Chain A
């Protein structure tokens, strides 16, 4: 059977499962729509949160980042898992006890003000919107590669599927589809790596392979990391186990990603679906466990893929290059420019050429390679590869069977759809519940509220799809810095102070949120889009600036609160109430 047939079968089966679950779990009330009725088991919620959390970017790009930057990539590995420790110990048990359905709900009640709620709604919409655009783009790219269709068509197919089960099924539909999606993802991610680990190191467990010996080809066993470091020195690039980022920058980025994780509304609301505070804790353990399976595999995959890549192509003539090299070259994801005209592929320091490759359509080079129109650099490196292929081309590099490649494709789609669905829910509830019901017109009925939620999710998808099809230049690629930085500088400090301080009042919280998010937003926009230099403040890159924004929020909030009246007694009582874990009841609205 050809690869296309396998892809169709796998994607078809998984879509069938998702739609089947959506029909079975159609939400009948706003309670089911917002929090799945509050009766999801800790284990199921853990899996669903894992799927919600791991986006297309994590699934496709993370191993590629590890492969390309070695130690430096640890900031993502630690940032996106360590954040769950903050989330679990400082946030979700208290917010679950509070018992409302959305994050702006807590902000609005705790800071007894419509302004605070409005600012929170705005932050939530902004964070989720930037994030969801990247997901729609991801779905589009995978579909277009799978079925040779336009990216636009791929985005529209993806959007329709998401609307079908997220827009109609609400949280209930999303939760149970995400459980299925997690299962698809975890198999798609780990199985190929196990095979590669066996081939390279003889170890069944990839994590052992990472710290094990390279034994491929029956030669003398050498430590794999040592081999990679030696190769790096030979090629003139930074050693794999050394970093090139400054300690300050590494620290700030990791901290911003952690705080951002603990402040992302689509992750927080997932914990409103379980029964009690005790179940929240248990569910958080499961969540991190399920996430850790993939995050512990990524570093192994990254190292294996980098070794394979260097080993199989460096100093080989183009004619003897492996077939996956030529396949992905045909897709425009790999390019080779023969700078010294020797017919041999040299991989080394620097870039082969500037920017993404722009390929000549018909003419081929002397050795049959595709030619690029890009301006070449003077660096010795002759190879360009898109880091996304580390996961996508991985099964081919290892010579794995076709059905496994199809499984990886289905995993990519699952990753993108599950995250998009979770974000869509927060977007639609922020609009229907916090904006329409709580601010504009408190008299609407349950049915009307749900109709607003469905309309809002349709509207949000249309906008997200539009930007998925026409990404505003480099915007989508930078969404990670945006979403995490903004969450770290707005929701995280505000929620934290709302829970652990009784003295922080509405004046402080509102000013703090606005100052934190404005500073972070301005800094990111300035260095990503306006400035053409990188003289960062204290050497902190835009990725890590959310950490500074967080402190600005803290300081502003405390100072303003100290000079303005304390919150009313009932709010202080409420804070005491949420600190007691028992009697959480069902999440209401």
Chain B
């Protein structure tokens, strides 16, 4: 029983790390690139096609990033589940 409890606590800790990292990137690509630092990004980053970088992030890049983030989240969490023996459900 205590084994199970330890592994649950470990799993929870690991999942918080994954969620934390995902959310940092999430905040950076949306609030960071597209809103707070957008003027700097527009001026200093390479253009995407004809679009200034910050503008492109606001209208396209961040959305593409969100989809990729969720894929990464799913992959990492599934791996974590298996590591701690919680992966039996399909």
Contact = CB atoms under 8 A, between A and B. Distances in A.
B89 A71 contact: no
A78 B34 contact: yes
A250 B35 contact: yes
A58 B8 CA distance: 41
A78 B58 contact: yes
B89 A579 contact: no
The bracket for how many chain B residues form the interface is 35 or more
Contacts of B81: 278, 581-582
Nearest to A500: B16
Given A210-B60, A299-B60, A85 B50 contact: no
Nearest to B42: A241
Contact of B34 (A74, A89, A212): A74
Nearest to A211: B49
The bracket for how many chain A residues form the interface is 35 or more
Contacts of B12: 579-580
A525 interface: no
Given A226-B50, A278-B89, A580-B11, A289 B35 contact: no
Contact of B70 (A84, A211, A213, A247): A84
Interface string B1-17: 00000001001100100
Contact of B66 (A81, A210, A213, A576): A81
B74 interface: yes
A82 interface: yes
Contacts of B11: 579-581
Contact of A212 (B26, B49, B52): B49
A499 B62 CA distance: 27
A88 B49 CA distance: 32
Interface string B79-90: 001000011111
Given A292-B67, A580-B8, A78 B62 contact: yes
B44 interface: no
Interface stretch (A151-159, A280-288, A306-314): A280-288
A211 B74 contact: no
A505 interface: no
Contact of A292 (B26, B64, B74, B90): B64
Contacts of B30: 78, 82, 254, 258
A89 B35 contact: no
Nearest to B19: A89
Interface in A568-589: 576, 579-584
B51 A255 contact: no
B89 A582 contact: yes
Interface string A5-22: 000000000000000000
Contacts of A423: none
Contacts of B70: 84-85, 88, 281, 284-285, 288
Nearest to B4: A580
Given A81-B66, A210-B51, A254-B35, A582 B74 contact: no
A202 to B, nearest CB: 14
A interface, over-half SS: helix
Interface string A203-244: 000011011110000000001111000000000000001000
B26 A88 contact: no
B58 A225 contact: no
A277 interface: yes
Given A85-B23, A225-B51, A282-B74, A582 B86 contact: yes
A566 interface: no
Contacts of B19: 89-90
A247 B35 contact: yes
Interface in B23-40: 23, 26, 30-31, 34-36
Given A77-B58, A278-B89, A576-B8, A581 B49 contact: no
A85 B30 CA distance: 11
Interface of A: 66, 71, 74, 77-78, 81-82, 84-86, 88-90, 93, 207-208, 210-213, 223-226, 241, 247, 250-251, 254-255, 258, 275-279, 281-282, 284-285, 288-289, 292, 295-296, 299, 576, 579-584
Interface of B: 8, 11-12, 15, 19, 22-23, 26, 30-31, 34-36, 42, 48-52, 55-56, 58-60, 62-64, 66-67, 69-71, 73-74, 77-78, 81, 86-90
The 8 A-B pairs of least Cβ separation, nearest first, read A211-B49, A74-B58, A223-B50, A276-B89, A582-B86, A299-B59, A281-B74, A241-B55
Given A81-B66, A288-B67, A580-B8, 9 more contacts: A78-B30, A82-B62, A211-B51, A225-B51, A251-B35, A278-B81, A295-B63, A299-B59, A581-B81
